[in-house]
Chain A
Amino acid sequence: MHIESLYLLAAAAAPATVGEWISQYGKMLVEGIWGTVYMTLVSTFIGYLFGLPMGVLLTVTRKDGLKPNAPVYKILDVIANIVRSIPFLILLILLIPFTRALVGKSYGTTAVIVPLSIAAIPFIARMVESSLTEVDAGVIEAARSMGASNMQIITRVLLVEGKTSLIVNATIAMGTILGYSAMAGTVGGGGLGDIAVRYGYNRYIYDVMFVTVALLIILFQLFQTYGMFFANHFDRRKSTSMKTGSLVVFIVFSVIMGSAAGIGIIQFVKTMLLR
């Protein structure tokens, strides 16, 4: 009875026209889109900031790596496995004290970046490891025969030859982080996921939830298409010639993505410093 009345209440307040709908929810949805983009891009950035070196270290210290080191590999391996074995939602709750110490609060988009990044680091490290171990051992041997040091092999061979695979995996990582960020909505994480949970699950306003889900799908598609295009076009194993039209779209999207990431990172750093 109680629930039904709530539902009626919500239905009564529902806007009659599209124009009204937009004026009622538009601002919130735009903020939601930004929240999601902000969390995804900044967490992916921080994830790579630490995950890339960790992945390189995993690759190098492997048994068949450039400089095998069983203890270092084992430690990183165990850390990666532990973090990855904790379901994200639980990690999110588990990290609340840490997040609060770092950001000052445990809800909202900036706070969610902390557990998102921590979940992303080992995931990204594994992705990087798999990309780099795929690099043809023959090319590494050729570099060694020319007198290259391990550091030169990492920067000039592994990261160069693994490029395509690294970009594909970054796209996958970004998609996963986007999904996680939506999950954070259940504990007031902000962004589109948060809106979907509040309106769809708590208030039964399904139209808002559907639009939110559609926006999430569109965002995911954009990231995915962009990443794959990027990976394929810059793969020199394939002879590609890009049409001017798609090149323009690609550049425009790159600029948007780049500035979004830039603004996001600045916002994140500011929020951390100004608390």
Chain B
Amino acid sequence: MSKISVSHLSKTFQSADGTVEALKDVSLEIASGDIFGIIGMSGAGKSTLVRCINYLEVPTEGKVLIDGKELGGFSEKELRKQRENIGMIFQHFNLLMQKSVLENVCFPLYIQGKKKAEARKKAAELLEIVGLADKQKAYPAQLSGGQMQRVAIARALASDPEILLCDEATSALDPQTTSSILELLDKINKEFGITIVIITHQMSVVREVCRHVAILKNGEVVEQGLVSDIFTHPKTDVARELIRKDTGDEAEVEKTAAMQEIQSGEIIRIVFSENSAFEPVIANLILTFREPVNILRANTRNVGGVAKGEMVLQFMEYSQNTEAMKHYLEECGLAVEEAPEYAH
């Protein structure tokens, strides 16, 4: 049974300019212990979707089941009890700025009516786990963004939840801090077996920690599956675009005019898995066909802890061997995709 099951979910908002369909017939199955990414451009409905999972937003249609129990069937009071089982962290951390770090982590425990001493003991342990044992007495304003997010994570874990929802949790952080927060989430997932749902617009986040991903566009799920499958064989334009934009920590360089002149033939993107990376595939390709290829981009990416080589190649404009060369690459065990989106 899935930990979280979202079926045929729709959400419409009434606004002054008429109705806005934020989600259209969304269905997802999230397994227990998974790290599930929900990715999409801004306005795709990701935040609405994640808020339906803990019923902060009540869906217009459809159901949300947690451990097989439907949230829509709960009373307000039962729902509050249920939310203790679902931790949540946010883009802007949403800490109490007037309370110390320790008191922030105690907050959910006080809500549940725990005694002060008991709450503080638990909070101190959690701050240890997130690596902020020495910041108990500090106030959020004295912390960096990454530290604030760690406090938020400790706070979300205070009620021993089985699910953790992350709403753009790394979007306000720099790449290094993002990585350290993702590592922490990964650790929490492994050590406590907490099911994590990550909402993001950054492919790099999904690539680094998620096992499964759903791609959202205009309120609809356009593609979902294993992250490694989607990375090697993106089926939709949205997926391809997200992968192309995933520059990780490499710099986005303005393409020069000279480069654009060279770029005229067909462009493909190839993905090496571990075993195919041993051979000098490109060198062999050139030797076999006696024809140059242009390497537009090459990179090694961490996809869920596995290194994958990614390369964008361009054939010569009037090449007769394009199809044969693609076939050759596939024979070598590489994933080959046409990638016109890289021509700019």
Contacts and interface: CB of A to CB of B under 8 A. Distances in A.
Given A139-B94, A145-B54, 10 more contacts: A139-B95, A142-B95, A146-B83, A147-B83, A147-B111, A152-B111, A161-B96, A236-B100, A236-B139, A239-B141
Interface string B62-92: 0000000000000000001111101110101
Nearest to A149: B80
Q: How big is the B interface, by class? A: 20 to 34
Contacts of A164: 98
Lowest 7 A-B CB distances belong to which pairs? A142-B94, A147-B83, A145-B88, A138-B94, A147-B80, A146-B108, A236-B139
Interface in B111-157: 111-112, 139-142, 152, 155
Q: How big is the A interface, by class? A: 20 to 34
Residue in A144, A157, A164, A236 with the greatest tally of chain B CB atoms within 10 Å: A236
Contacts of B152: 142
Nearest to B158: A146
A145 B56 contact: yes
A54 to B, nearest CB: 23
A136 interface: yes
A141 B56 contact: yes
Contacts of B142: 239
Interface of B: 54, 56, 80-84, 86-88, 90, 92, 94-100, 107-108, 110-112, 139-142, 152, 155, 159, 165
Contacts of A146: 83-84, 87-88, 107-108, 111, 155, 159
B94 A147 contact: no
B107 A156 contact: yes
A168 to B, nearest CB: 14
A275 interface: no
Nearest to A157: B96
Nearest to B82: A147
B56 A156 contact: no
Interface string A148-178: 1100100011001101100000000000000
13 contacts: A139-B96, A139-B97, A142-B88, A142-B94, A143-B107, A145-B54, A145-B86, A146-B111, A146-B155, A147-B80, A147-B81, A161-B96, A236-B98
B166 to A, nearest CB: 12
Contact of A156 (B94, B95, B111, B112): B111
Contacts, number: 77
Contacts of A149: 80
Interface of A: 136, 138-139, 141-149, 152, 156-157, 160-161, 163-164, 235-239
Residue in B80, B82, B97, B139 with the greatest tally of chain A CB atoms within 10 Å: B97
A156 B141 contact: no
Contacts of B54: 145
A136 B111 contact: no
A101 to B, nearest CB: 43
A148 B152 CA distance: 16
A236 B100 CA distance: 8
Nearest to A150: B76
A251 to B, nearest CB: 21
B97 A236 contact: yes
A238 B141 contact: yes
A236 B159 CA distance: 26
Contacts of B84: 146-147
B113 to A, nearest CB: 10
A169 to B, nearest CB: 16
Nearest to B141: A237
Contacts of B99: 160, 236
A161 B83 CA distance: 22
Residue in A139, A146, A235 with the greatest tally of chain B CB atoms within 10 Å: A146
A141 B141 CA distance: 19
A42 B56 CA distance: 42
Contacts of A157: 96
B228 to A, nearest CB: 31
Contacts of A144: 56, 83
B114 to A, nearest CB: 12
A144 B80 CA distance: 8
A237 B97 contact: yes
A162 to B, nearest CB: 9
